[in-house]
Amino acid sequence: MSLTGGNRNDVTQLLPLLDKVPAVGGAVGRPRRRPDALLADRGYDHDKYRRLLRQRGIRPVIAERGQEHGSGLGIFRYVVERTIAWLHGFRRLRIRWERRDDIHESLLGLATCLITYRHIQRLC
For residues 61 and 87, membership in a common domain is answered with: no
Quick one: pLDDT band at residue 54, thresholds 50, 70, 90?
Answer: very high
| pLDDT over 70 percentage in the chain | 86
Average pLDDT, the chain: 81
Range of the domain at 115: 73-124
Quick one: pLDDT band at residue 70, thresholds 50, 70, 90?
Answer: low
For residues 40 and 81, membership in a common domain is answered with: no
For residues 61 and 78, membership in a common domain is answered with: no
pLDDT digits (tens, 9 = 90+) for 3-30: 777 677 777 888 888 888 887 777 777 7
What's the Cα-to-Cα distance from 68 to each of 44, 104, 112, 115, rounded to whole Å? 16, 38, 34, 34
Quick one: pLDDT band at residue 55, thresholds 50, 70, 90?
Answer: very high
For residues 105 and 119, membership in a common domain is answered with: yes
For residues 92 and 40, membership in a common domain is answered with: no
Domain boundary among 39, 68, 97: 68
Amino acid 46: pLDDT: 85
For residues 12 and 63, membership in a common domain is answered with: yes
Amino acid 17: pLDDT: 82
For residues 62 and 88, membership in a common domain is answered with: no
Amino acid 114: pLDDT: 94
Residue 36 has pLDDT above 80, yes or no: yes
How many structural domains is the chain composed of?
A: 2
**Is 83 strand, coil or helix?**
helix
